[in-house]
Amino acid sequence: MKNRLFARSLIVMVFAVIALALAGCDQDDMTGGGWIELNSGKKVNFAFTFKCKSDDNGNAKVSGQLQYNDHEKGVMFHGVADSLIEGGTCNGLLDTWEGQYCGTYTPQPRKLGEGGRFEIKVVDSGEKGPSKGDELTLTLDGGYHDGYGIDTKLAADGTFKEGNIKGGNIKAHGAKTRE
């Protein structure tokens, strides 16, 4: 049942990612989905879509969703981005090809207990496809999965800190041009 629920959620997220990509997203939107091969050989599945819109009051509202499943540690959750940047703008929210978002998460299944906050940083390397340098860093604070985190950045010794994005892609829509 747990895997079926995650599969349905992942399918919904993939369709949302495709819909945003086809719709020609606004400045500083990010979408992504795929899987990470952990150093242990186990997998993590992820899918997300984050969108920034300016409101009538001169603020930037970041919204979006994140679906995540770490098969090794049993960490499965649904996240909802809920950031408001007062007096801010969506332009420049991304630092070139990077985006950082936060929100609340709910463990899946919900009966596991209380949720908490998530913070995710994603990097689009500019190359299509897996294993092309895209990065994902995630931390959870509070709730059932308090203290969980993952970092797929390349370490100084040429190995991946905790895993490598092997399938899927992370895409920054409308990001600034690389210099």
Say if residue 5's pLDDT is above 70. Answer: no
Strand blocks (E) in the chain: 29-38, 43-54, 60-70, 75-85, 98-107, 116-123, 135-141, 149-151, 163-173
Say if residue 17's pLDDT is above 50. Answer: no
Q: pTM for this one?
A: 0.76
Give 66-98 pLDDT, tens digit per residue. Answer: 999 999 999 999 999 988 777 766 665 554 577
Joined together, the tokens standing for residue 123 give: 């990097």
